């Protein structure tokens, strides 16, 4: 029997605190939380979803900066769980812009009537395991106090936006913005002097669009990034129909791919072919656009020499696009292998540096010293004047949002303490010491190295199947064993160390946050391999998890009743 479900209206801003019991609490109403709620309903479980924003969409709710767009193709960056939905929905562009993806998230919420179980504008402040009751107690900043057998964190990997600690920020006389918290009403930057700090994926998308409006844009670059043109275009009707004609088969195939994206992965190594062939292949991929560039050869993430050929190609492209040789040189990444910081995808990023109203400050030569009342001061004493500063400075990735929720497991153990030296989990799904708590696309799973939609659906389905199994076998708690967690963490590190990824000071490694442990956080073994592993573990009665009472005992007890 599901626990009581007191009321079902969408939350008004002034709703009274809710004190209630549910089967499941879900934290977050992005794509993970929405689909999780849908599956929980299908299992007949009662659920309460908490969402800090006033709407659904998660990352696509918050990241409304100019130019925000997905770099996984629209036909693949969408749910596959409903054939009707995927057949009926039409994406207007090859790569979807943020407003279209948000529109889709809202459509899904309405279509599956999800809003009535979501409490918006409500931030979870504490998630504590009650040992005696074998339930989670979840508290919010609106005074809600919910107990639930299960808690599912659908808080996203890139949701805790990060403002760098630069002195003098409060003294700035102009406006400041973070790409991850862009004002909903939009920002009129027309004719203004805009400083953009950061040159990651967000900045690389935003800068060309801002430059078209602003009077002047000054880009503050600490680390140059590799970026591939998107070649975005209106959706081609024939291409859309081709996908829809065998959508299901294509989705199934994508799930077996390394990163959950169906594209042509060359099965050859870069050094197996002549230089001429290699350049032809890179050129074709550059012209084709998007992250498929990194699939030009099967060893670009593994072999330094192979990787250098791809990096050299992109550096040459930068040289050929950017007319000012000094700017071109400054924009060329040289101190990490291509792809080991998240590859960027752009529309006219490098071309934008040919505009008269765009200048580049190389922070490796003159770091930022402080924010001054009139702009950004670098160590050479120059104040780069600005009316607005855009912080495109990224996120406390993968662990930030989880740690902010105040999770405490067995014996009051804080997740923050358990993860003091970096995140540890079993499969990125559960953490030893935290029974009945699941993380959707948590650290230790392919997550950010994959098509998030594919990884979200896989996790949600796995969790839903697990809950169904526990229900059917009378098991009250499931928890990762310490041994299974240790082995998974060791395996994850071993696989990562076989690649070039740990060579970059990236947010994958926690390197963007001062003091954050340097641990490669996502699982890089591949989406297909990972899925098989998860399925195998479930098929073996959840190997590596402690089930209490054990299913056989539970079944016997049930039979005796
Ligand atoms: O954040 P980032 P992002 N002074 O961390 C710089 C996804 N995403 O929001 O590299 C000066 O990548 C920092 O410099 P450095 C995607 O997974 C996807 O751009 O640390 N600079 C860096 O240049 C992506 O990877 C899409 O030296 C400072 C930048 O700020 C992830 O989100 C679109 C600084 C931060 O880059 C995050 O991307 C957008 C300081 N104190 C995002 N602190 C698509 O699907 C930081 N920086 C296309």
Q: What residue owns the CA closest to ligand 1's atom 43?
A: 393
Mean pLDDT computed over 61-78: 97
pLDDT of residue 560: 67
The two three-digit tokens of residue 365, written as one number: 């030569």
For tokens 């299913």, name the residue: 551
pLDDT confidence band for 3 (50 / 70 / 90) = very low
**Residue 243 half-sphere exposure, CB side, CA atoms within 13 Å?**
24
Question: What pLDDT, in 10s, does the model give residues 238-268?
Answer: 999 999 999 999 999 999 999 999 999 999 9
Our answer on whether the CB atom of 269 is closer than 6 Å to any ligand 1 atom is no
pLDDT of residue 552: 76
* Cα distance between residue 456 and residue 439, in whole Å: 10
Q: What residue owns the CA closest to ligand 1's atom 12?
A: 200
Those residues whose C-beta lies under 8 Å from the C-beta of residue 32, and which sit 6 or more positions away, are 58, 154, 156, 440, 441, 456, 459, 460
Our answer on whether the CB atom of 522 is closer than 6 Å to any ligand 1 atom is no
Question: What pLDDT, in 10s, does the model give residues 460-469?
Answer: 999 999 999 9
Instruction: Work out which ligand 1 atom sits closest to the CA atom of 203.
Output: 19
Please answer whether residues 106 and 55 qualify as being in contact, where contact means their C-beta atoms are separated by less than 8 angstroms.
Answer: yes
Ligand 1 center–CA 547 separation, angstroms: 40
Please answer whether residues 438 and 26 qualify as being in contact, where contact means their C-beta atoms are separated by less than 8 angstroms.
Answer: no
In terms of Cβ atoms closer than 10 Å to its own Cβ (0-12, 13-18, 19+), residue 256 is: middle
Can you spell out the DSSP letters for 287-304?
A: HH-SGGGGGSSTTTTT-H
Question: What mean pLDDT, rounded, does the chain reach?
Answer: 95
* pLDDT at 96 exceeding the cut of 70: yes
Strands, DSSP E only, in 42-134?
Answer: 47-50, 118-119, 124-130
Mean pLDDT computed over 479-491: 98
Question: What pLDDT, in 10s, does the model give residues 191-243?
Answer: 999 999 999 999 999 999 999 999 999 999 999 999 999 999 999 999 999 99
SS3 state at 348: coil
Please answer whether residues 441 and 32 qualify as being in contact, where contact means their C-beta atoms are separated by less than 8 angstroms.
Answer: yes
Q: What residue owns the CA closest to ligand 1's atom 15?
A: 223
pLDDT confidence band for 14 (50 / 70 / 90) = confident
- Distance (Å) of CA 361 to CA 293, 315, 317, 333: 28, 19, 21, 15
Our answer on whether the CB atom of 549 is closer than 6 Å to any ligand 1 atom is no
Please answer whether residues 540 and 532 qualify as being in contact, where contact means their C-beta atoms are separated by less than 8 angstroms.
Answer: no
Those residues whose C-beta lies under 8 Å from the C-beta of residue 532, and which sit 6 or more positions away, are none
pLDDT of residue 12: 56
Q: Tell me the backbone φ, ψ of residue 22, rounded to 5 degrees.
A: -135, 165
Our answer on whether the CB atom of 207 is closer than 6 Å to any ligand 1 atom is no
* pLDDT at 5 exceeding the cut of 70: no
SS3 state at 493: helix
The two three-digit tokens of residue 127, written as one number: 């998630």
Ligand 1 center–CA 179 separation, angstroms: 10
pTM given for the model: 0.96
């Amino acid at each position: 029997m599901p626990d009581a479900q007191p009321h079902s209206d969408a939350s008004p801003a002034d709703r009274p605190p809710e004190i209630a019991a549910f089967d499941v609490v879900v934290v977050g109403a992005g794509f993970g939380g929405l689909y999780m709620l849908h599956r929980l309903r299908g299992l007949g479980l009662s659920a309460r979803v908490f969402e800090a924003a006033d709407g659904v969409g998660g990352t696509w709710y918050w990241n409304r900066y100019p130019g925000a767009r997905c770099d996984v193709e629209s036909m693949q960056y969408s749910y596959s769980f409903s054939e009707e939905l995927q057949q009926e929905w039409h994406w207007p562009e090859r790569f979807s812009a943020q407003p279209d993806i948000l529109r889709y998230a809202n459509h899904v919420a309405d279509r599956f009537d999800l809003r009535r179980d979501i409490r918006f504008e409500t931030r979870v402040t504490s998630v504590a395991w009650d040992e005696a009751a074998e339930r989670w107690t979840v508290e919010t900043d609106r005074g809600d106090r919910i107990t639930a057998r299960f808690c599912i964190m659908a808080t996203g990997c890139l949701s805790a936006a990060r403002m760098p600690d630069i002195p003098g920020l409060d003294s700035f006389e102009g406006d400041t913005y973070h790409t991850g918290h862009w004002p909903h009403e939009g920002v009129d930057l027309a004719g203004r002097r805009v400083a953009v700090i950061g040159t990651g994926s967000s900045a690389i998308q935003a800068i060309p669009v801002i430059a078209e409006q602003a009077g002047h844009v000054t880009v503050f670059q600490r680390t140059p990034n590799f970026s591939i043109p998107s070649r975005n275009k209106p959706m081609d009707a024939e291409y859309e129909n081709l996908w829809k004609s065998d959508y299901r088969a294509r989705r199934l195939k994508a799930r077996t791919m390394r990163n959950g994206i169906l594209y042509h992965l060359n099965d050859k190594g870069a050094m197996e072919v002549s230089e001429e062939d290699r350049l032809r292949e890179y050129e074709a991929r550059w012209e084709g656009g998007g992250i498929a560039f990194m699939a030009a050869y099967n060893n670009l993430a593994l072999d330094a020499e192979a990787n250098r050929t791809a990096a050299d190609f992109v550096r040459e492209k930068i040289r050929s696009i950017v007319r000012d040789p000094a700017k071109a040189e400054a924009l060329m990444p040289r101190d990490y292998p291509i792809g080991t910081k998240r590859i960027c995808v752009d529309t006219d990023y490098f071309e934008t540096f040919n505009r008269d109203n765009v200048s580049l400050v190389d922070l490796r030569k003159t770091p930022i010293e402080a924010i001054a009342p009139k702009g950004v001061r670098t160590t050479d004493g120059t104040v780069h004047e600005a009316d607005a500063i855009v912080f495109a400075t990224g996120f406390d990735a993968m662990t930030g949002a989880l740690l902010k929720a105040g999770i405490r497991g067995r014996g009051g153990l804080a997740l923050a303490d358990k993860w003091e030296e970096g995140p540890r989990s079993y499969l990125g799904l559960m953490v030893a010491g935290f029974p009945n708590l699941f993380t959707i696309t948590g650290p230790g799973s392919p997550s950010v190295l994959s098509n998030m939609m594919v990884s979200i659906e896989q996790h949600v389905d796995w969790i839903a199947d697990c809950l169904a199994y526990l229900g059917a076998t009378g098991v009250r708690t499931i928890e990762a064993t310490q041994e299974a967690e240790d082995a998974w963490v060791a395996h994850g590190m071993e696989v990562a160390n076989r690649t070039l990824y740990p060579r970059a000071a990236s947010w994958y490694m926690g390197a963007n946050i001062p003091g954050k442990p340097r641990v490669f956080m996502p699982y890089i073994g591949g989406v297909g391999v990972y899925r098989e592993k998860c399925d195998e573990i479930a098929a073996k009665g959840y190997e590596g998890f402690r089930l209490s009472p054990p299913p056989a005992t539970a079944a016997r007890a049930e039979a005796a009743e």
